[in-house]
Every structure is written in C-alpha cells, then in structure tokens.
A = this chain, B = another copy of it.
Amino acid sequence: MRKLDRLVTIRDVAAAAGVSVGTASKALNDRGTLRAETRQRVRDAADRLGFEANAVARTLKVGRTYTVGMITTDSIGRFSIPLMLGAEDALGAGQMSVLLCDARDDPIREQYYLRTLLTRRVDGIVVTGRRAQARPPLAPDLPVPVVYAFVSSTDPADCSVVPDEAGGAAKAIEHLQAIGRRRIVHVTGPEHHSSAQVRASAAVPALVRPPLFGEWSEAWGRQAGAMLLNEEFDAVFAGSDQIARGVVDTLRSAGRRVPEDVAVIGFDNWDVMVTASQPPLSSVDMDLDGLGRAAANLLLAAINGEPAPGRHVRPCRLVLRESTAIAGAVRLG
C-alpha cells in the first residue's frame, strides 16, 4: 500500500484515515474544530503514506505562491553572491522560495525572465547586481512589488537599497587622518563608474592630488603605484581591494614600508584579497549580505502591503587590519 504510481494526495490520506478530504485538510493545517484523536489519526495516515501537500494546488486556491524572483542584472559575480545569499536567507525565514534568473545584463533576457516570473505568479521580485550606473526600472506598472538591491532604479519612486559608499569613503579618509596621515592619494576605477565617482568625490577634499582613475584591477593598482613613486604621500585610499593590493605590491618592492611609510585602505573587504595581501588590508565593507537581507525584508513588507518606496541607504563599515596599523593603534579583525 505504500507505493502508488502517482503521488499521494489528500484524498488518499483522507481515505486511509477514514475521514473526508475536508476533515483531512483541517487536521493537516490545524484549522477548524476537530477531535484530537481524529487529527492524530489523519496525521498518522499522512506520515504512513508519505504525504506531501501539493503546494501548486494550494497556491491556485489561495492565490499566493510564496515565491519571489531574483533577477541579477550583471552576470552573477562577486558582488551578487553575498547579496543573493542574504536575500535568500531572509526570504527563506519568511517561508519564501527564490527563483533564480541570471539576466547577464541583457535586456532581452531580462524581459524574458520577467515574463516567466509573472507567469509563475511570484509574490515579488528583487533585482540585484552591480552596474556602472543606476538602471532603468524593470518595467512600468508591475502587478507585484519590486526591490532593487545594490543597483538602484532611476525612478526615485522605486524601492532601492544601496550602500552608503560616500560614507564608507569618508570613514576611510577619517581613519587615515586619525592615524596622522596628511598626504593622502586616491586611486580607483573608471571615472564613468558611479561607484568610482561617488567614492572619489567623498575623498577629494582630503587628497593631496587629484584622484587617479583607471580600472578595477590589480594591474592598474601596480601601475598607479609606480606612477606615484616620485610623488610625496603617506597614505593611499584605494577604490577596491584589488587596486589596493596592486599598489601595496609595487610600493613594497620599491622599498616603501606599509603601513609605516604608507598606510593603505582598500574597498569591498573581499576576503581573498584582504587576507592574502601583505600586510593584510584595512578595507571598507559594504555589508552586502546585510544589504541583501534588508532588500528581502523590504520586499516581504511590500508583499504584506507595507511598501517603503525610495532609496534606502545603508552604512558601510571600516574593517581595520595591518595595512593601517601604526604603533599603538587599534587593530581589528
């Protein structure tokens, strides 16, 4: 009796327990008034038959899928992952499942996925990923709430949650100043990239020379380091950990000591870079995991009828390591 050719339904359970489907439903969902003995009998039958309620049928009846779509605009990369995980975690706690869609920055793919998600009647959508600039809204007048995480929508009425990159940069600068550095330089990514711009703008009042814009790579960090060698400076604020590492490598092989001669702070707090660098890098952490979690919670709230439109800015955290550890200074992490 254990094995059927089809999956076991609530009717099978009801029959096995000698009750009607309605009663079985009540017993399994703790609704209505039932004798404790009956309830138990139904549950035993369900266990015995290996019954798993069909979420599809339930969905059709009650109108909610308890599923959200997650569209990543850039190809899923180093930034999307913590975001996704944070979001997935927060959503899972809310009994939500996540449909994964990798749109690869291709508008056609994105629209295709959007239709798929709507067809599947997701309760909401979170859009994540890195972008050089804010992105246009997914589509106008969607029947479900949408939250943008890390990327922000160009429509200020959309709900976006983003890190306070300017604030993070400011923290980095302040720390460098706090350990006595006055001649700070900034080397970062491409000027057309809004992250590079925002971080640079926050840093510029404290800089001893104009920011060096380039790429987000270690190679560029090395190159910039070499360019700086005949200038006078005692601190580098880098736009990314990779850049920072490149800079550090060049400086050290040119005989400069880090942090004694030059203190260095990176950005992203990417474990691989930050710990492998010699010395380990102080860095600005955007708390992408928390960002994903926050986005998920905003989405859950919106689904429950309490939308929070607008740009939500979350603080960055400065993580200190040896690359800014001067004698007597605090050292963390």
Contacts and interface: CB of A to CB of B under 8 A. Distances in A.
B115 A102 contact: no
A40 interface: no
Interface in A182-237: 217-219
A77 B80 CA distance: 11
A55 interface: yes
A88 to B, nearest CB: 5
B99 A52 contact: no
A53 interface: yes
A81 interface: yes
B76 A65 contact: no
A75 interface: yes
A45 interface: no
A143 to B, nearest CB: 6
Interface stretch (A116-124, A159-167, A170-178, A319-327): A116-124
The CB with the most chain B CB atoms within 10 A, among A56, A65, A77, is that of: A56
Contact of A100 (B75, B100, B242, B246): B100
Interface of A: 7, 52-57, 59-60, 65, 67, 70, 75-77, 81, 84-85, 88-89, 97-102, 115-116, 118-121, 143, 217-219, 242, 245-246, 253, 272, 275-276
A102 B116 contact: no
A242 B275 CA distance: 12
Nearest to A99: B97
A50 B67 CA distance: 22
Contacts of A242: 272, 276
A76 B81 contact: yes
B97 A120 contact: yes
A217 B274 CA distance: 12
A272 B271 CA distance: 13
